């Protein structure tokens, strides 16, 4: 292994040290997911993507397992893949079907198995030279006519820059146009590119909407 690659891996390990705590994914919180706000958010995103209960889903980079918990409760057949060993073991303890590694690995020989692949706030962590490999791997895992739903900071919006540059582990800036380009290279077609659904409580809705548009 080259010195530059060793240095790169060392820097990456340092960046992710304590990441779960910084994100608020401590053990005591994991048993409480999904939270009410995210329960509504997941429901509406899956409805918009036309992914119905009973679909077989793989979440790429499942983090604290919040989406998997929601999907399991709501009748989806859900699995997850995660590179963070600590999060993998926590999910195993909670009886989720999970894999340790990356979606580009040979995941138990799975191919054409999933109706949908889901990933929230993960693809911005990938270097550009890895993105195409991920898209090709997703194509292998999906059934014919399956869907991919990705959430990432909108690099073509000034409002997306807050989220993009608020995390030192982000490796690239993504836009709808860039995703469309990669999709065309890897056998996908871009069906739509939208803002993430916003969930507002009953109180102070005007204030929240106003803040969103400022």
What is the residue-averaged pLDDT of the chain? 77
Residue 19 has pLDDT above 90, yes or no: no
Q: Is 37 contained in some domain?
A: yes
61 close to 67: Cβ distance less than 8 angstroms? no
Q: Per-residue pLDDT tens for 145-165?
A: 999 999 888 756 555 555 655
pLDDT of 60 strictly over 90: yes
Residue 116 has pLDDT above 60, yes or no: yes
Q: How do residues 25-46 score in pLDDT, each as one tens digit? A: 555 445 555 556 688 889 999 9
**201 to each of 25, 81, 109, 168, how far by Cα in Å?**
23, 32, 44, 30
In a domain? residue 14 = no
Q: What is the pLDDT of residue 97?
A: 95
What is the extent of the structural domain holding 53? 23-213
Is residue 4 a part of any domain in this protein? no
Distances (CA, A) of 12 to 9, 65, 126, 167, 186: 5, 22, 11, 13, 27
Q: Provide the 10 A C-beta neighbour count for residue 199.
A: 15
Query: How many structural domains are present in the chain?
Result: 1
Which of 28-32, 61-65, 149-153, 183-187 is least confident?
28-32
DSSP state, 95? T
CB 27 within 8 A of CB 33: no
């Amino acid at each position: 292994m080259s010195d530059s690659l060793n240095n790169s891996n060392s820097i990456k390990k340092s960046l992710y040290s304590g990441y779960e705590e910084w994100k608020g994914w401590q053990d005591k919180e994991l048993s409480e997911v999904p939270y009410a706000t995210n329960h509504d958010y997941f429901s509406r995103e899956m409805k918009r993507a036309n992914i119905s209960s009973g679909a077989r889903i793989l979440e790429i980079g499942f983090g604290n397992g919040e989406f998997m918990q929601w999907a399991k409760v709501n009748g989806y057949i859900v699995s997850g893949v995660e590179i963070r060993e600590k999060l993998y073991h926590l999910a195993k303890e909670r009886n989720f079907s999970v894999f340790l590694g990356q979606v580009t690995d040979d995941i138990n020989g799975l191919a054409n198995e999933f109706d949908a692949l889901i990933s929230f706030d993960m693809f911005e962590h990938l270097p550009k030279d890895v993105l195409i490999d991920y898209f090709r791997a997703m194509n292998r895992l999906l059934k014919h006519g399956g869907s991919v739903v990705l959430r990432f900071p909108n690099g073509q919006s000034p409002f997306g820059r807050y989220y993009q540059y608020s995390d030192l582990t982000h490796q690239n800036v993504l836009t709808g146009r860039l995703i469309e380009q990669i999709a065309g290279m890897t056998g996908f077609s871009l069906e739509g590119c939208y803002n993430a659904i916003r969930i507002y409580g009953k109180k102070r809705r005007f204030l929240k909407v106003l803040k969103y548009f400022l």
